[in-house]
Amino acid sequence: MKARICLPLVASLMVLALAGCAGKTAYRDSCGSQLDSAWRELDLAKAEGFAGTVSYSKALSLLTGAKTQQQFEAFEGCSKKAEKARFYIRESRAGR
């Protein structure tokens, strides 16, 4: 009787564990590419003289947080922060 209960429970736990691992890597590529693009865009904004804007500072702060999340494999948060940073970089380059 106990074996009948344990087998489905163990199988369910294995499925949940594998789903958790898959969820962790789902945003890995997005995180990396967003970060790479954002750092390049930030360097361009700095070279163009927009490094003193508030938007530039917000972008830099977000990118720092995104990089930290990438190192801790929090790829979804990393991707979202990097995407938001890219928005602020565009705002900075537009003078806002």
| pLDDT, tens digit, 9 for 90 and up, residues 27-65 | 999 999 999 999 999 999 999 998 888 999 999 999 999
Q: Is residue 13 included in any domain, yes or no?
A: no
Kindly state the percentage of the chain with pLDDT values over 70.
75
What DSSP character marks residue 2?
H
The domain in which residue 42 lies consists of: 27-94
Q: Is residue 78 part of a domain?
A: yes
Confirm if 31 and 78 have CB atoms less than 8 A apart: yes
Distances (CA, A) of 70 to 3, 23, 75, 81, 95: 41, 14, 6, 10, 29
Residue 39 resides in a domain: yes
Q: How many domains does the chain have?
A: 1
Residue 15 falls within a domain, yes or no? no
CA distance 13 to 17: 6
Residue 33 forms part of a structural domain: yes
The helix-helix angle for 54-71 and 28-47 (nearest 10°) equals 150
Query: In the structure, what pLDDT confidence band is assigned to residue 25 with cuts at 50, 70 and 90?
Result: confident
pLDDT value of position 51: 87
On whether residue 35 sits in a domain, the answer given is yes
pTM: 0.72
